[in-house]
């Protein structure tokens, strides 16, 4: 069964690079290419499993990172080029420019949401105040979800059958099941979404169903702390 990733709100390889920069808390102007390249290849392996077509542009970036990584180990005299001594320069320019536009888009979105609050609306019940020791939830990025899905795949690999099992369950079936699960239980962990049997095709179908529900604004994914458990809940649920 083929799964297609068509999510306009999720970006490509430059967005993944920017995520890795934030994830590693490194200076965008002084990229640790070896570390970033290795992590990028790990994500590429997961993306290839999710959708081979989607992985195409990531393969180009992986080749670029590998080339830069090899040039970084050359002696300085051999590594220097007419464009500059640092082979990372062009990539850094792309990242800085992409970050500038992404930050601007986030600012415009925040302003739009602020403007919406000026419209009259019905009073809503205010949620109870969080306890002082409770950490606020943060929205997760696509790459947080891909990383969590990769861990799930590794953990269930030993339980998967050795032969290839075809799973042709329509994605809408998984989406309906997840929504029904959330209507019964206010919030579930990301791993609770993936009910057995844990075959590769079924796991991919459920993962893409989660992405489509997030894209459609039906559910939200949050986590109380960086690299912690991801929680899924209905959008607008108090």
- Domain spans, the chain: 13-116, 138-234
Mean pLDDT of the 77-106 span: 77
DSSP label at residue 134? P
Mean pLDDT of the 92-100 span: 90
Contact assessment for residue 220 and residue 186, using Cβ atoms and an 8 Å cutoff: no
Instruction: Please state, in angstroms and rounded to a whole number, the distance separating the CA atoms of residues 205 and 113.
Output: 32
Instruction: Report pLDDT for 116.
Output: 61
Contact assessment for residue 208 and residue 217, using Cβ atoms and an 8 Å cutoff: no
Q: The domain 138-234: what is its CATH number?
A: 1.10.10.580
Q: What is the pTM of this model?
A: 0.61
Instruction: Report pLDDT for 135.
Output: 38
Look-up of token digits 């079936």: 173
pLDDT tier at 52, thresholds 50, 70, 90: confident
Using CA atoms, how far residue 150 sits from 71, 101, 112, 154, 186, in Å, is 30, 29, 35, 6, 25
Q: What φ, ψ does residue 29 adopt, rounded to 5°?
A: -85, -5
- pLDDT tens digits, one per residue of 12-26: 888 999 889 988 888
Instruction: Report pLDDT for 29.
Output: 86
Chain center to CA of 224: 16
Long-range contacts of 201-204 (CB under 8 A, 24+ apart): 201/1, 201/165, 201/166, 201/167, 202/167, 202/169, 203/149, 203/152, 203/153, 203/156, 204/3, 204/49, 204/50
pLDDT exceeds 80 at position 110: no
Instruction: Please state, in angstroms and rounded to a whole number, the distance separating the CA atoms of residues 23 and 136.
Output: 19
pLDDT exceeds 90 at position 179: yes
């Amino acid at each position: 069964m083929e799964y297609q990733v068509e999510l306009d709100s999720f970006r490509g390889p430059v967005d993944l690079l920017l995520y890795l920069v934030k994830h590693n808390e490194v200076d965008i102007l002084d990229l640790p290419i070896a570390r970033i390249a290795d992590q990028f290849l790990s994500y590429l392996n997961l993306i290839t499993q999710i959708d081979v077509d989607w992985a195409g542009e990531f393969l180009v970036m992986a080749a670029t990172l590998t080339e830069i990584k090899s040039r970084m180990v050359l002696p300085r005299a051999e590594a220097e080029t007419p464009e500059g001594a640092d082979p990372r320069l062009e990539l850094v320019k792309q990242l800085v420019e992409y970050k500038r536009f992404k930050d601007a888009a986030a600012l415009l979105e925040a302003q739009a949401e602020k403007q919406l609050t000026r419209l009259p609306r019905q009073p809503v019940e205010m949620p109870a105040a969080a306890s002082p020791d409770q950490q606020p939830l943060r929205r997760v990025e696509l790459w947080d979800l891909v990383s969590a899905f990769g861990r799930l795949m590794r953990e269930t690999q030993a339980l998967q059958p050795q032969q290839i099992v075809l799973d042709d369950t329509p994605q809408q079936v998984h989406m309906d099941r997840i929504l029904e699960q959330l209507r019964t239980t206010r919030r579930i962990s990301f791993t609770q979404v993936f009910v057995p049997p844990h075959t590769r095709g079924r796991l991919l179908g459920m993962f893409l169903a989660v992405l489509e529900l997030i894209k459609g604004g039906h559910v939200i994914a949050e986590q109380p702390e960086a690299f912690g458990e991801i929680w899924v809940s209905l959008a607008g649920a108090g």
